[in-house]
């Protein structure tokens, strides 16, 4: 999607902006807007971030607002949660969400549960963010999607952006939210440029948490995805359109709370559903969507069973050809659509 093109200047109408630059803009604007906001994590300050998301922010805001931490996720996540309880608004970067396993006690038992256990007396306004899911050639211990893990836990909000507009708007909403938010980005999208409207480039732009977006309207089948697979769904829809099949592509944007109403309304219209995700099949995001459709009013409108298109049920292999076979590709989505429509 136009990767590598330089972003136009804000105010020049529609611009090509990478996901990396969109996240950087969001952090810059929120650090400037609210002095309680600060960023901490490994290499976020002097090195400008492992993925250059925080480029230039340490030079601009200094040591108190952009903080390099030791390699101890449990330690710096705990510091961030305590800071949030004390009234600050930390943004805690994990170099990959696979490393958030080191800090899952802080995320779940401390951040997610405190507001409820204190009867609302102690809000925990914190954002845990970083790359999630498979990257490229980083093997099993760096390739897991945690959308289902964190989406399982009450007390958290969980967002999963696809485009630059998603990334900027959801990060700004997450920082302003009084609840702990887990923001699952995708490393392979950081360098991809998307069109951003003039409105999306403004400092007031936010994407509401809990609202999905219809990226492509269609009438024959509903495709629901989050993060990078949204792009695969749009590619698959373009191929299928040449064969007369019109897919409605829904970008979930938020995993928890899930906008099941948008999915239901689409299924009522198309009568068919395929869910697409990079995570494992068992207890996954797609499994949850299918269950919610089964239990709700849209079930009576289905003309075929809902189908899940997921990652393979194995730890991620290192070899590229095996890696490609373990994550949903455009051809897999096309196959799932044709299977569902019996064509």
pLDDT tens digit sequence for 284-305: 999 999 999 999 999 999 999 9
Per-residue H/E/C for 91-118: EEECCCHHHHHHHHHHHHHHHHHHHHHC
- Read off the pLDDT of residues 211-246 as tens digits, 9 standing for 90 and up: 999 999 999 999 999 999 999 999 999 999 999 999
159: helix, strand or coil: strand
Which CATH number goes with the domain that contains 60?
A: 3.40.50.970
pTM of full prediction above 0.75: yes
Range of the domain at 296: 213-341
Per-residue H/E/C for 259-318: CHHHHHHHHHHHCCEEEECCCCCCCCHHHHHHHHHHHCHHHHHCCCCCEEECCCCCCCCC
Residue 188: pLDDT above 90? yes
Q: Are 167 and 194 in contact (CB under 8 A)?
A: no
Q: Are 132 and 160 in contact (CB under 8 A)?
A: yes
Cα end-to-end span (Å), the chain: 29
Q: Which residues contact 136 (CB under 8 A, 6 or more apart)?
A: 188, 320, 323
Do 196 and 314 lie in one domain? The reply is no
The string of DSSP letters for 212-274 reads -EEEE--SSEEEEE-STHHHHHHHHHHHHHTTT--EEEEE--EEES--HHHHHHHHHHHS-EE
Residue 2's pLDDT band (cuts 50, 70, 90): very low
CB atoms near residue 155 (< 10 Å): 18
The owner of tokens 């994550």 is: 327
In a domain, 208, yes or no: no
In a domain, 331, yes or no: yes
| CA 21/CA 99 separation, integer angstroms | 24
Do 336 and 189 lie in one domain? The reply is no
Sign, CA torsion 16/61/59/162:
negative
In a domain, 4, yes or no: no
Which CATH number goes with the domain that contains 235?
A: 3.40.50.920
Do 107 and 133 lie in one domain? The reply is yes
| CA 177/CA 134 separation, integer angstroms | 28
CA 154 vs CA 25, 115, 136, 150, 209: distances in Å: 30, 11, 31, 9, 15
Residue 54: pLDDT above 90? yes
DSSP structure class, residue 188? G
Residues above pLDDT 90, as percent of the chain: 95
Do 249 and 187 lie in one domain? The reply is no
Domain count, the chain: 2
Q: Which residues contact 158 (CB under 8 A, 6 or more apart)?
A: 147, 150, 151, 181, 182, 184, 254, 255, 256
Enzyme catalytic residues: 73, 142
Using DSSP bridges, classify how beta strands 213-216 and 247-251 pair: parallel, antiparallel or unpaired.
Answer: antiparallel
Q: b/e per residue, 206-224, with b = 16+ CB within 10 A?
A: bbebeebbebbebebbbbb
User: Residue 158 belongs to what H/E stretch?
Assistant: strand 157-159
Do 65 and 161 lie in one domain? The reply is yes
In a domain, 185, yes or no: yes
Do 53 and 100 lie in one domain? The reply is yes
The string of DSSP letters for 165-181 reads HHHHHHHHHHHH-SS-E
In a domain, 223, yes or no: yes
In this predicted structure, what is the pLDDT of residue 225? Answer: 98
Do 184 and 55 lie in one domain? The reply is yes
Residue 108: pLDDT above 90? yes
Domain boundary among 173, 201, 229: 201
186: helix, strand or coil: coil
Residue 5's pLDDT band (cuts 50, 70, 90): very low
């Amino acid at each position: 999607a136009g990767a590598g093109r330089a972003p136009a200047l804000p105010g020049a109408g529609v611009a090509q902006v990478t996901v990396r630059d969109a996240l950087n803009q969001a952090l810059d604007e929120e650090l400037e807007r609210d002095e309680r906001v600060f960023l901490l994590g490994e290499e976020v300050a002097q090195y400008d971030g492992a993925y250059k998301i925080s480029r230039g922010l340490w030079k601009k805001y200094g040591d108190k607002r952009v903080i390099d931490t030791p390699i101890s996720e449990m330690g710096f996540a705990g510091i961030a949660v305590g800071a949030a309880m004390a009234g600050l608004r930390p943004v805690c970067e994990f170099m990959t969400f696979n490393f958030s396993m080191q800090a899952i006690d802080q995320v779940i038992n401390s951040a997610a549960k405190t507001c409820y256990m204190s009867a609302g007396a102690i809000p925990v306004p914190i954002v845990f963010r970083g790359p999630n899911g498979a990257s490229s050639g980083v093997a099993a211990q760096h390739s897991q999607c945690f959308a289902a893990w964190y989406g399982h836990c009450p007390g958290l909000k969980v967002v999963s952006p696809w485009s630059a507009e998603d990334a900027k708007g959801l990060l700004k909403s997450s920082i302003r939210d009084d609840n702990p938010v887990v923001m699952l980005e995708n490393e392979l999208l950081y360098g991809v440029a998307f069109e951003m409207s003039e409105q999306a480039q403004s400092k007031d732009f936010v994407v509401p948490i809990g609202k999905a977006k219809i990226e492509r309207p269609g009438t024959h089948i509903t495709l629901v995805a989050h993060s990078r697979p949204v792009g695969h769904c749009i590619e698959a829809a373009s191929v299928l359109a040449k064969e007369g099949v019109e897919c409605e592509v829904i970008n979930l944007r938020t995993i928890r709370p899930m906008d099941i109403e948008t999915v239901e309304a689409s299924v009522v219209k198309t009568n068919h559903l395929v869910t697409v995700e990079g995570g494992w099949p068992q207890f996954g995001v797609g499994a949850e969507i299918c269950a919610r459709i089964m239990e709700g009013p849209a079930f009576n409108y289905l003309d075929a069973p809902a189908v899940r298109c997921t990652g393979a049920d194995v730890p991620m292999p290192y070899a590229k050809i095996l890696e490609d076979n373990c994550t949903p590709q455009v051809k897999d989505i096309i196959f799932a659509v044709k299977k569902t429509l019996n064509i």
